[in-house]
Every structure is written in C-alpha cells, then in structure tokens.
Amino acid sequence: MAIKMTNCHFENNGTGIKAPTSVKIEMSGTTFKSNGKAIDIFVSASDLKSLGLPENTPQEYIKEVIEILSQVKDNPKEQQLESISDSSLFKWLGHGASVASIGSAIIAFFQSP
C-alpha cells in the first residue's frame, strides 16, 4: 500500500504522520513545522507476527533493535545477532526466544528494500 502526499503542510501536531513499516510513503512539496515528531513509523501487528514476535511487543524495543542494527549493518550477520542479543527486546522475550531465528527475521525485514 502507498500513501501519496503532495503539497501537504503539517503544523503544531504531536505527530505529523504515523504509519506502519508496511506502507510506502511518497511525498513531494510537503512541509513539517513545530510538530513533536514529523513522522512516526511503527511495526504493525501483522509484521510483528511475521517476525515471530507477539502482537503486544513494545514498539520501543523494536526501535532499540533497529538502532543497534543501523550501527552494525555492515558487520557479518553473526555479529549483528550478537549485538541485539542483549537488547531490551530479547530480555523481554525471555530465555525461550531464539535470537538466531527471530533476530535473523528482524535483520532480513529491516534490510529489505
């Protein structure tokens, strides 16, 4: 699904746009002024499920993993997995969570175009 915005103006909002990772956003001539956050991208419940994560997975834990992966994106996959293994996400998931399977799915998801 795509959201196309042309010549839109977002001003004095808490969040200008909130959209799931599964949507493609195309903007031209769009401006943001005095918003708390211009764009808030979140991982949808269906995307969480496809990653092997519960639907109630806290978004801040996903954002932390994305931040970690962005810092080590050029490292080998094994090092990327090691980098996220101590994240809040895997602490929250507990010992039963497989860093190899869930972590690999997350890495693939966020490296896809």
Q: Are the C-beta atoms of residues 68 and 45 closer than 8 Å to each other?
A: no
Q: How far is CA 11 from CA 19, 26, 79, 93, 97, in A?
A: 17, 19, 42, 38, 42
What is the per-residue pLDDT for 35?
A: 95
Phi, psi of 14 (to 5 degrees): -65, -50
What is the per-residue pLDDT for 6?
A: 95
> Are 79 and 111 found together in one domain?
yes
What is the per-residue pLDDT for 100?
A: 83
What is the per-residue pLDDT for 58?
A: 95
> Are 9 and 59 found together in one domain?
no
> Are 80 and 32 found together in one domain?
no
How many structural domains does the chain have?
2
What is the per-residue pLDDT for 81?
A: 92
Q: Tens-of-pLDDT digits for all 113 residues of the chain?
A: 688 999 999 999 999 999 988 888 999 999 999 999 999 988 888 889 988 899 999 999 999 998 999 999 999 999 999 999 989 999 999 866 788 888 889 888 877 76
Name the pTM for this structure. Answer: 0.71
What is the per-residue pLDDT for 23?
A: 85
Q: How far is CA 42 from CA 14, 25, 45, 59, in A?
A: 16, 13, 9, 7
Domain containing residue 32: 1-42
> Are 26 and 49 found together in one domain?
no
